[in-house]
Structure 1
């Protein structure tokens, strides 16, 4: 009987029989170290070719071109079996830095307090201005929360390739639910009063408020949350998928607070039936509306920042608002002009369903795009000797990640493998940012740290193999 290719958890093969990443591939007795790493062409996505810039004077990189760092010695093909000789290098870089700064945590706490104050304000406004039982307000808040949870779950699935730090996701939700919703409420109210004062026409107020004021004001206030996230943690806002995730959560948070207002209005007009109808129309049939509007802005800002750098990401903010504003205005226009017509409502929600499906398709495409770019950028490091090409396949493909975690689970090191995968994806993002922004000393230091973590994670995995 032939011997199974899987010898042991610490052997050369993974549970599926494929060679373990880093296992020896050369013949027995051949040299285990390559002074020059084998070069593999991983391609270069044209969408992120940083050498082509629309206006050299404005979008030029702020720093000198970033040359990829080279290791003291290239990884041999038998990298995982020789890492024990690099303990000193690991010790120099193995200290784990916090994922986000203390400023990010402070911002999350401040915005959380702001959300409590905003919700408290709207609760007091409901209690003092409505004849309904005050217990209805937390009921409407809970119903509004259902839609937010659904959006958050969709974004959780979209964020699995290179997960964002939890505090940043919380900041996105809190910004939309507290700051954007509160500011928009007052500015929209002022614009409605101003329109009435000028025109003395209820029809004008009914048109200007939802069709002109709301799209302009709300998309700007929500979009400013994206800029806040870029300021707080540019390292984690590095592409269209990041922009979509942050934007959708901002929009979901905004819709949460806005839906409470609409549900309480439905309560005052029709009682419990009004709440149910409002929930079906806003929380079910149009659940992704605000998420789509803001994510359109986030996709554009994230794409431009990845391709042409941080400065251009900020400069493109105003043009990036236009798609979301147009979609928002068109929806409100249709609701304003044909809201009482059953056929118009059916057509509106069918188009909204198609838009939501298209949005889901964009999410899938951006996840694929993210994984492809991760493989290309990790390939840059493999060609310099930091990784073997087998490790690139393990760290930058869904199949490789599954196999790597399955193998690591066999030796009791699955958490280490998950960290290895996560930090490698972060390293790939840093490499792309260096190509776009140039050799920013702060970003180069982050790259150096992550390269050290690369070695540290590999060595820790090896320690489990005995």
Structure 2
């Protein structure tokens, strides 16, 4: 067996990427601090961090059906806050100075820089994070909702750094002019950037994420669609960004006109699309997991519970109450694996199966089977509480002893080699290698 070169190993790539982001962060930190001054930097940092928890929480909520790993979310935010922000500051400054020198018109250079250069550079830099995740973390990128979440978090990181710069600069202006209170430049900047438009940068980048998400769902043969849709999403992101930056040139009320006529409807439309996609994924989970019920991998109640966010919460609470936090985490992992399995099968049935489809399916089934004794009673309890109109059995009855929850360890426990089958697969004895592996039995 041929071993990978040292630079192809995962830990080397992770270390290199982490080092790159840290260096970008240090450079952007020094540049912003130089432009705002120490006091302006601290004020900008304190104000810019306020919308971040809300933004991340919203995108994390959208991602609850099939949560992507935290490391992917951290990478997206760090890329936006460090790498994309550094690229934008350097490229925008260079381009604006070049235009000013070539045209001998600094005011026109600033206008072109804000409405043409900045949207192209910034949206390309932010979109690069989503492209990298699609290329190197393909399993974490299953559709439109993943594109929305990763693009939105990247935009939130970029907005965080940019807000530090703008708010810190505004504070410095107030120190020079003596402005204070609600009439200060800092208060006005905070109101426009943090109160009225905290979703601006995430909103722009989400268009790119949607294009990449649709491309990820497209089959291998639809190459034109896989190339053109991401480009269309990127162009829409640039267009919205340019319109937003140029709103101040449309007269005294240009900003409010663009905000009301374009930003609010776009925000509402994308919010509806994200929630609709989320509900569609839950419906897909209910429909696709029925095949695994027929193959005895899941109980009849589980697809109904896994297709409802309320039932999922009920199951985790039940597990926490009877088995502690470890049991609740086991149920949460079970829910995530089951969702991945349903979406994997859905893609395969629609002609989008990848080369590792069978291997990935077995891996997910193995993960579910290892956690079934903890998760199954909790999910069946959730169905009983909701009285879901579907076939199920084995549900705890009030007043009777509750089933004992067993907390399982890692996927590959002691004495088990990676890739081995679960000890008691459906329809077979201990140690049988997936004796009843028939998830597509009709």
> Normalised by the shorter chain, which TM-score bucket?
0.7 to 0.9
Tell me if structure 2 keeps the 8 A contact 1:108–1:171: no
Aligned runs of 1:188-267 on 2, under 5 Å? 188-267=92-171
Partners of 1:114 and 1:434 in 2: CA distance: 41
Secondary structure in structure 2 of the residue aligned to 1:389 = coil
How many residues are treated as equivalent by the alignment? Answer: 358
- 287-296 or 328-337: bigger deviation: 328-337
Deviation at 1:328, TM superposition (A): 0.8
2:331 to 417, 437, 452: 417
Equivalent residue number for residue 21 of structure 1: none
Per the normalisation by structure 1, the TM-score is 0.70
Equivalent residue number for residue 114 of structure 1: 23
Q: Residues 157 and 260 from structure 1, CA distance in 2 versus in 1: closer, same or farther, beyond 3 angstroms?
A: same
Partners of 1:208 and 1:395 in 2: CA distance: 51
Q: Residues 401 and 113 from structure 1, CA distance in 2 versus in 1: closer, same or farther, beyond 3 angstroms?
A: same
Partners of 1:182 and 1:234 in 2: CA distance: 26
Equivalent residue number for residue 145 of structure 1: 49
Q: Residues 249 and 123 from structure 1, CA distance in 2 versus in 1: closer, same or farther, beyond 3 angstroms?
A: same
Partners of 2:321 and 2:238 in 1: CA distance: 51
Partners of 1:435 and 1:315 in 2: CA distance: 24
Partners of 2:331 and 2:88 in 1: CA distance: 45
Q: Residues 201 and 263 from structure 1, CA distance in 2 versus in 1: closer, same or farther, beyond 3 angstroms?
A: same
Equivalent residue number for residue 193 of structure 2: 282
Q: Which runs of 5+ in 2 are unaligned?
A: 1-9, 378-402, 407-442
Equivalent residue number for residue 456 of structure 1: 370
Partners of 1:358 and 1:441 in 2: CA distance: 35
Partners of 1:218 and 1:465 in 2: CA distance: 50
Q: Residues 277 and 438 from structure 1, CA distance in 2 versus in 1: closer, same or farther, beyond 3 angstroms?
A: closer
Tell me if structure 1 keeps the 8 A contact 2:143–2:213: yes
Deviation at 1:308, TM superposition (A): 2.5
Q: Which runs of 5+ in 1 are unaligned?
A: 1-100
| 2:259 corresponds to 1:349 | yes
Equivalent residue number for residue 388 of structure 2: none
Deviation at 1:381, TM superposition (A): 2.9
Tell me if structure 2 keeps the 8 A contact 1:206–1:336: no
Per the normalisation by structure 2, the TM-score is 0.73
Tell me if structure 1 keeps the 8 A contact 2:84–2:122: yes
Equivalent residue number for residue 307 of structure 1: 218
Deviation at 1:225, TM superposition (A): 0.7
- 221-230 or 377-386: bigger deviation: 377-386
Deviation at 1:231, TM superposition (A): 2.0
Deviation at 1:213, TM superposition (A): 0.7
Tell me if structure 2 keeps the 8 A contact 1:219–1:294: yes
Deviation at 1:224, TM superposition (A): 0.8
